[in-house]
Amino acid sequence: MNSKPTPLPALAAPSPLTKADLILLPIEDRLASIDGHVFYTPDFGKAVRSMKHVLYERTTSGLHTNIVMHGPEGSGKTSLAEHFLSQNPPIPADPIARQPVLFSKFSRSASARDLAHAVLASGGWPQVRNSNSDELAWIQIKLFLEKVQARLLILNHADRLMRGDAISEKGVDLLEDLLDLTPCPIMIIGQDGFGDVIEKCDRLAGRFPLHLPISRMPYGKDWLTTCNLLNEKLPFRTTEILTDEMPERLQIAAAGGMPDLMRLTQAASRIAIFGEKSLELTRRHYLAAFAGRPGRGPNPFDKIPLETLRTTKRSSPTVTSRAAVLWANNRSDSS
């Protein structure tokens, strides 16, 4: 008779600092406070709720739902997975810590041995790499996931298993073997269009019933809400994030991607905090931050009319074409 999985304890989030508290932090801590913010955009919120549900159903009832997360480069897929991992940290236990969520990645070689090394290493458990046995690698993965009582295994860069515009035969075999032996649900992450690739594969489509698309955010109500949240959490007395055209210029600069928005904000904040010891974050700081990133096109924070930037944005390459380039690269790698 199978016993039910042991429930995992709830974890309380630390109390957030107020803006007044953030301003009073030492310079280094002010800048560090910007790192790690995750904003629950519609796609992020839905994805996190779904992942929590999969984790919960596995913990309480033993149900097993595999997930595909897909979206364009820079949309925040990896950031979301890392955030979910941080919300479900290891739980000390003897002889090995329980790890409800593990986050690893596929290598460019669709090999059970490389996958075993990556999965075990992500959990801080070394693997002997001198074995040539795939069978031993699968046993190591299965036993490790059972030992740490994993409830969800997240695997990034699943599109590395592609050749051309489809999963390679070797990649399909690898995924099928993985799904057959793992005692917990699997979430695979791939680029834009990867969900369609899985759906077109007869051997995999039915085994990944839950799809979580993550997109870049267009300019609109949700983007303005995100800018408001960002403004509230930054360690400055005042910012120009919400001033006049700044929200749309930020959207153009980051191409609607949360990771890019945060990297740009960190760079601008570094200039304001370290360069000027300023308690204000202005458009000028963003101008200098964007200028330090060559090859990004016209600087949205310069004196360029917004309509010109919109026209440039509409004529720029689409995300789909970047996905096509990725698949073309996969095709050339296999030749």
- Tens digits of per-residue pLDDT, 61-97? 878 999 999 999 989 999 999 999 999 999 998 888 8
CB-based contact 109:84 (threshold 8 Å): no
Please state, in angstroms and rounded to a whole number, the distance separating the CA atoms of residues 290 and 298.
9
Judged against a pLDDT cut of 80, whether residue 130 lies above it is answered with no
CB-based contact 3:59 (threshold 8 Å): no
CB-based contact 296:267 (threshold 8 Å): no
**Amino acid at residue number 222:** D
> Among 183, 171, 179, which residue's Cα sits nearest to residue 209?
179
Sequence-distant (6+) residues with CB within 8 A of 257 are 74, 75, 76, 216, 217
| Residue 154, φ and ψ in degrees, nearest 5 | -100, 130
Q: What is the structure's pLDDT at 315?
A: 67
The tens digit of pLDDT for each residue in 13-52 reads 444 778 888 888 888 888 888 887 888 888 999 999 999 9
Average pLDDT over the chain reads 86
Q: What is the structure's pLDDT at 128?
A: 58
Q: What is the structure's pLDDT at 127?
A: 65
> Among 171, 215, 178, 176, which residue's Cα sits nearest to residue 193?
215
**Amino acid at residue number 191:** Q
pTM score above 0.85 = no
Q: What is the structure's pLDDT at 135?
A: 87
Show the tokens assigned to 43. 């796609």
> Among 161, 158, 189, 193, which residue's Cα sits nearest to residue 324?
193
Residue 96 CB: number of other CB atoms within 10 A? 15
Residues 281-297 have a mean pLDDT of 90
Judged against a pLDDT cut of 70, whether residue 246 lies above it is answered with yes
> Among 181, 125, 177, which residue's Cα sits nearest to residue 148?
125
Q: Which carries the bigger pLDDT value, residue 246 or residue 6?
A: 246
Residues 144-149 have a mean pLDDT of 94
Please state, in angstroms and rounded to a whole number, the distance separating the CA atoms of residues 117 and 107.
10
Q: What is the structure's pLDDT at 131?
A: 60
Sequence-distant (6+) residues with CB within 8 A of 40 are 48
Give the confidence band of 108 by pLDDT, cuts at 50, 70, 90. confident
